[in-house]
Amino acid sequence: MIPEFIDTWQMAEPGRLARTRIPMPALQPGEVVVEIAGCGVCHTDLSYFYMGVPTVQKPPLSLGHEISGRVVGGEAEWIGKEVIIPAVIPCGECELCRSGRGNRCLAQKMPGNSMGIYGGYSSHIVAPAEFLCVVDARNGTPLEHLAVIADAVTTPYQAAVRARLTEGDRVVVVGAAGGVGSFMVQVAKGMGAEVVIGIDINQEKLERMKTYGADFTLNPKGLDAKGIKDAFKGFCKEAGVPASTGWKIFECTGSKAGQETALGLLSFVGTLVVVGYGTGETSYMLSKLMAFDAEIIGTWGCTPEKYPAVLDMCLDGRIQLDPFVETRPMSQIAEVFEQAHHGQLDRRVVLTPDFQ
């Protein structure tokens, strides 16, 4: 049943949230109404809320783009289906979409940014059925936990595809204990990487990643660039793998320090994929890139057609969600934002609607 109104937590302006009720928009052909089961809290939301990073739709609007739920209205054949809504919804028709690069479609829509005032910190949302990922079976995984697939898991998968990651590759993940980096480690190992090195300054979380795909971990706190390289070379010697050729490096922090660490490890025929978003600037001598015959690649979101493969990895155990996810009622959104902003969360929080 389609409600007349959507209950939601809106960003009234950067730094201020307000609970409100907005009209349900009129459905267009091909659209469905999804009753939200959960919406993950992403650092992109925090960038909009605390740092003034502009959204396409100006406030007031509802943030939130990691969404799972059940279809309750619209196209009849979709009613009752459990779905994940892609964080990046392409137009499906432009040159970029036709070439397989729809994740960077210039006409893309993103819940909580460019889908009008509508986002995932709400009771319901309208979305185009064409791009939804159907959850046919969950194997006991709560539907709300699957919300993080929409960004935190599919973004690393897209990054791995961009890096042409194949079985037997050697991988470094900078920011391996973070919300995206922890899944980057698992994606890399799940896709067959021979060796995965996790780098992070959070020692407790970093240690945990040894259980979830990291063969070696390195805390760079207190180390200069040479110290990081020496520690990296030490592990490579111990593992019997080359230190200076062929590594695929994924920078997931978005921080200047993380980017400099990743660039410092890039070497001969290596690949660096920039996954994390940040506003800081760094510098790099491009002639090194030429001399190394190396690559630096940017990546953005994930195309919807890849979602089923990622969902399968989550359901068959190659990627573990439950140890990295916790649910809280959506009424705690302000508290969760504050804790996430100050790095006080141990897991990625998924907010579940509690508007009654």
Domains assigned to the chain: 5-151+302-352 (3.90.180.10), 154-298 (3.40.50.720)
What's the pLDDT score for residue 1? 80
For the segment 259-270, the average pLDDT, to the nearest whole number, is 97
For the segment 74-89, the average pLDDT, to the nearest whole number, is 96
- CA distance linking residue 333 with residue 312, whole number of Å: 30
Q: Omega of the bond prior to 54 within 30 degrees of 0, cis?
A: no
For the segment 285-295, the average pLDDT, to the nearest whole number, is 97
Contact 201, 247 (CB under 8 A): no
Residues, the chain = 356
What's the pLDDT score for residue 280? 85
- CA distance linking residue 129 with residue 309, whole number of Å: 18
What's the pLDDT score for residue 89? 96
What's the pLDDT score for residue 278? 83
The CA distances from residue 2 to 7, 26, 73, 204, 322, in Å, are: 13, 11, 6, 45, 31
* Long-range contacts of residues 270-273, Cβ cutoff 8 Å, at least 24 apart: 270/245, 270/246, 270/294, 270/295, 271/163, 271/164, 271/247, 271/295, 271/296, 271/297, 272/296, 272/297, 273/159, 273/162, 273/163, 273/248, 273/249, 273/297, 273/298, 273/299
Tokens of 268: 């001969």
Tens digit of each residue's pLDDT (9 = 90 or more) over 203-214: 999 999 999 999
